[in-house]
Amino acid sequence: MSVQRKTGRTVRAGVLFGVAGIASIVAAGSADAQLAQFNGVYAGTQTLTTDPGDHNYSQCLKGPFKRKMTVTDGKIVYTYNPTYDGEVQGIVSADGNVSGSVETSSGGVALVGKIQGDAFTGKVWSIICTYSLDLKRVP
């Protein structure tokens, strides 16, 4: 009889773990679908900010510069300086908030912003320059 009880418990435990596994796969699939809504290439301008609190130095180039950001399954790659292959990598959350950063020899570069519909607005900055970003998803 104890063999039947152990076998019954094993089967029930296996069923419970199987159901939990399926639920986690469905939830992950749902999260992937939420993030996939942002997939695409966003192109637009990077322009030096005029906010005095940003402490932009005279060395900062004003722009506007044409730039692109690629979003794939919740991950972003933004090329802030194509001349030197300067890229920020980061993430986009299910509500469209974007954040990323990269360490550089001069201290690093960070990016924040939000995707709403087919538009991304945000900022990218280093220790000496802060730029506003206005990008639109390319069809």
CATH code, domain with 108 = 2.40.128.120
What are 90-110's pLDDT values in tens digits? 999 999 999 999 998 888 999
Q: Are residues 79 and 113 in the same domain?
A: yes
For the chain, the distance separating the N- and C-terminal CA atoms, rounded to the nearest angstrom, is: 66
Q: How confident is the model at residue 54 (pLDDT cuts 50, 70, 90)?
A: confident
Each residue of 81-92: b (16+ CB within 10 Å) or e? beeeeebbebeb
pLDDT of residue 3: 52
Instruction: Please give the residue range of the domain that contains residue 29.
Output: 1-36
Q: Quick check: pTM over 0.85?
A: no
Q: Are residues 43 and 105 in the same domain?
A: yes
Q: How confident is the model at residue 64 (pLDDT cuts 50, 70, 90)?
A: very high
Name the nearest CA neighbour of 123 among 80, 85, 84. Answer: 80
CA distance 47 to 65: 6
Whether the CB-CB separation of 36 and 29 falls below 8 Å is answered with: no
Q: Are residues 43 and 13 in the same domain?
A: no
What are 13-52's pLDDT values in tens digits? 444 444 454 444 444 455 576 778 999 999 999 999 988 8
Q: Are residues 42 and 103 in the same domain?
A: yes
Q: Are residues 44 and 112 in the same domain?
A: yes
Q: Are residues 107 and 120 in the same domain?
A: yes
pLDDT of residue 13: 42
CA distance 128 to 139: 34
Name the nearest CA neighbour of 133 among 51, 50, 44. Answer: 44
Q: How confident is the model at residue 89 (pLDDT cuts 50, 70, 90)?
A: very high
Which tops the pLDDT comparison, 50 or 119? Answer: 119
Q: Are residues 14 and 49 in the same domain?
A: no
